[in-house]
Amino acid sequence: MFRKSVRVRDYMIRRPVLVHTDTDIFEAIRQIINHRISGVIVVDEHRTPVGILSELDCLGAILSGSYYGVEQGVMRVEGYMTSPVETIHIDENIIDVAKSMLDHKRRRRPVVDENGHLVGQVTCRALLKAIRDMDIPDHKPT
């Protein structure tokens, strides 16, 4: 039996990096680089998650902007984010979340409470830590 919790609330990032839909793509890139993360949650004016912006999304934005001659300052997150975004509930089981993230090839999910308010984010790294922390017998090769 597990000794530790297997709920999202115990492994989520409580202060995820957020950007708004109208944030300049280069500002979002600065946030990703400065925080050493692979992506950010995109929120509307009510802090409701509306998308995810990944490093790959940013790379695509830069390449398409360069190719089509879009000037810096004109490119907004809204045009490059992945949307719609699937949220998860704070009390979901991390194993179920991990399976869903794997099935949908997503590295992060916004976490919401019972009222649908954004309360955090769960990432693949957080899930790996949670699974590592479970009381699972050591696997010994035969």
Residue 120: predicted pLDDT: 94
Please count the other Cβ atoms lying within 10 Å of the Cβ belonging to residue 16: 22
Domain holding 53, by residue range, is: 8-133
Residue 140: predicted pLDDT: 47
In a domain, 13, yes or no: yes
Question: For the domain that residue 91 is a member of, what is the CATH number?
Answer: 3.10.580.10
In a domain, 55, yes or no: yes
> What DSSP designation does 93 have?
B
In a domain, 1, yes or no: no
Residue 126: predicted pLDDT: 86
Residue 75: predicted pLDDT: 87
Look-up: residue for tokens 């998860």? 88
Q: Is the pLDDT of residue 70 over 70?
A: no
> What DSSP designation does 131 have?
H
Residue 136: pLDDT band (50, 70, 90) is low
The model's pTM: 0.79
